[in-house]
C-alpha cells in the first residue's frame, strides 16, 4: 500500500489534539474517528434505519449506474479512478462492476486515512471483483491531492462519495474543491455525493440513533487518544450530542462533559480542564441544496456538468469538470 509522504501520523494526531483541546470552544477532528473499531462502528451506522444517506446513494447508483459510468469515460480511453475516503467501498463496487461489464480500462486507486479500511477493501475486492486492478493509497485528502497534482498521468476520474465533503467546514470545503480544480486537466472529472437539505428531524435522527452506535462512534476519538496518546478520558463522563440548524444546513456532533474534570494526556505531558457541560465539537455534516453546490463550484473554479438523484431528492451526486 502506498503512503502519502506525511509527517509521522501519531505526531500529527498529538499536535492536533493539543491544539483542539487548548482552544475555546474545544474541538477534535472527525478524521480521528476511523481506526479498526471506528471503521466497524461506521459500517454499523450505515446499516441503521435512521442513517438514510448510504441507502439513498446506493439507490442512485443502482438506478443510474450505466449513465454514471458512461459519463466517466469511453471503453477506449484508459483512466485512473481515484476515490477519496473510500471506506468499505460498498457503493463504489456497483460502479466498478458496471465499468468491468462495459469493458472500461481503469485502475482503481482508493485513498483513505484508515489503513484498516484500505486493507479490508483490498481483500474484499480481490474476492469479489478479482478483475479490478487496485492500488490503494493511505493518507489524508489534502496530502493525497497534493501528490496527485505532482504526477502527470492518464485521465483521472475522482470520486468523493457519502457526502464526506460535508465533514469539512465551508471554508475548508471550498479550499478542498479549489485543490481538486487545480489538479484536474481538461478531460478529468470529479464525481461527488452531497446530502441534501430535508426535514430537520430526519437529519437529526440520522446522527442520534437510540441504539447508541453513533454515540460510540463519536466517543471513539477519545478511545484513540487514550490508546495512542496515553490519555485517561473516562468515556462515561461524556455524552454524545447532535444539533441541526435548518437555516445553515449544518449538523454538528459534540461530546459534552457531564462533570467538571481534568484529563491527562501522557504523550503531551499536559492536562486539560473541563467545566461541567463544556463541549468538544467533533464533527460537522453539512447539508446542501443546488444553489449552494453551484455557488461552491463557481467559487472553486469547477462546473457542474450533470447530476443524479434518488426519487425524493434525498441525496444527489454531481459530476464536475474544471470551469
Instruction: By CB under 6 A, tell whether 148 contacts ligand SAM.
Output: no
56-115 positions binding ligand SAM, by CB under 6 A: 85-87, 91, 112-114
- Using CA of residue 128, residue 131, residue 135, residue 141, what is the dihedral sign? negative
Output the smallest distance, CB 34 to ligand SAM, in A.
3
Cβ neighbours of residue 56 closer than 8 Å, sequence gap 6 or more: 310, 314, 315
For ligand SAM, give the closer residue by CB, 148 or 263.
148
Cβ neighbours of residue 282 closer than 8 Å, sequence gap 6 or more: 27, 28, 29, 30, 33, 218, 221, 253, 254, 255
Q: How far is it, in rounded angstroms, from Cα 136 to Cα 92?
A: 14
Instruction: By CB under 6 A, tell whether 284 contacts ligand SAM.
Output: no
Q: Are 174 and 312 in contact (CB under 8 A)?
A: no
Cβ neighbours of residue 9 closer than 8 Å, sequence gap 6 or more: none
Cβ neighbours of residue 246 closer than 8 Å, sequence gap 6 or more: 197, 200
The single residue among 69, 73, 140, 196 that binds ligand SAM, judged by CB under 6 A, is: 140
Output the smallest distance, CB 289 to ligand SAM, in A.
20
Instruction: By CB under 6 A, tell whether 218 contacts ligand SAM.
Output: no
Instruction: By CB under 6 A, tell whether 195 contacts ligand SAM.
Output: no
For ligand SAM, give the closer residue by CB, 221 or 263.
221
The single residue among 17, 99, 117, 137 that binds ligand SAM, judged by CB under 6 A, is: 117
For ligand SAM, give the closer residue by CB, 50 or 187.
50
Q: Write out the residues near ligand SAM by the rule CB under 6 A.
A: 31, 34, 42, 54, 85-87, 91, 112-114, 117, 140-141, 161-162, 164
Amino acid at each position: 500500500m502506498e503512503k502519502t509522504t506525511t509527517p509521522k501520523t501519531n505526531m500529527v494526531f498529538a499536535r492536533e489534539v493539543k491544539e483542539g483541546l487548548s482552544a475555546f470552544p474545544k474541538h477534535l477532528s472527525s478524521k480521528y474517528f476511523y481506526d479498526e473499531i471506528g471503521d466497524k462502528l461506521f459500517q454499523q451506522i450505515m446499516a441503521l434505519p435512521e442513517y438514510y444517506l448510504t441507502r439513498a446513494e446506493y439507490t442512485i447508483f443502482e438506478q443510474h449506474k450505466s449513465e454514471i459510468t458512461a459519463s466517466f469515460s469511453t471503453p477506449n480511453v484508459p483512466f485512473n479512478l481515484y476515490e477519496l475516503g473510500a471506506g468499505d467501498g460498498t457503493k463504489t463496487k456497483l460502479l466498478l462492476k458496471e465499468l468491468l461489464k462495459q469493458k472500461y480500462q481503469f485502475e482503481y486507486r482508493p485513498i483513505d486515512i484508515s489503513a484498516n479500511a484500505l486493507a479490508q477493501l483490498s481483500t474484499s475486492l480481490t474476492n469479489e471483483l478479482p478483475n479490478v486492478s487496485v492500488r490503494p493509497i493511505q493518507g489524508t485528502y489534502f496530502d493525497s491531492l497534493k501528490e496527485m497534482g505532482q504526477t502527470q498521468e492518464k485521465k483521472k476520474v475522482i470520486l468523493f462519495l457519502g457526502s464526506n465533503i460535508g465533514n469539512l467546514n465551508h471554508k475548508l470545503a471550498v479550499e478542498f474543491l479549489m485543490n481538486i480544480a487545480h489538479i484536474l486537466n481538461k478531460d478529468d472529472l470529479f464525481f461527488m455525493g452531497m446530502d441534501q437539505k430535508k426535514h430537520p428531524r430526519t437529519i437529526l435522527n440520522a446522527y442520534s440513533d437510540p441504539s447508541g452506535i453513533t454515540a460510540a462512534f463519536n466517543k471513539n476519538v477519545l478511545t484513540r487518544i487514550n490508546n495512542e496518546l496515553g490519555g485517561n478520558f473516562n468515556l462515561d463522563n461524556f455524552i454524545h450530542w447532535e444539533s441541526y440548524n435548518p437555516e445553515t444546513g449544518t449538523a454538528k456532533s459534540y461530546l459534552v462533559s457531564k462533570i467538571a474534570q481534568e484529563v491527562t494526556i501522557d504523550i503531551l505531558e499536559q492536562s486539560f480542564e473541563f467545566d461541567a457541560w463544556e463541549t468538544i465539537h467533533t464533527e460537522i455534516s453539512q447539508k446542501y441544496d443546488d444553489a449552494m453546490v453551484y455557488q461552491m463550484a463557481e467559487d472553486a473554479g469547477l462546473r457542474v456538468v450533470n447530476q443524479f438523484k434518488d426519487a425524493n431528492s434525498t441525496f444527489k451526486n454531481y459530476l464536475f469538470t474544471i470551469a
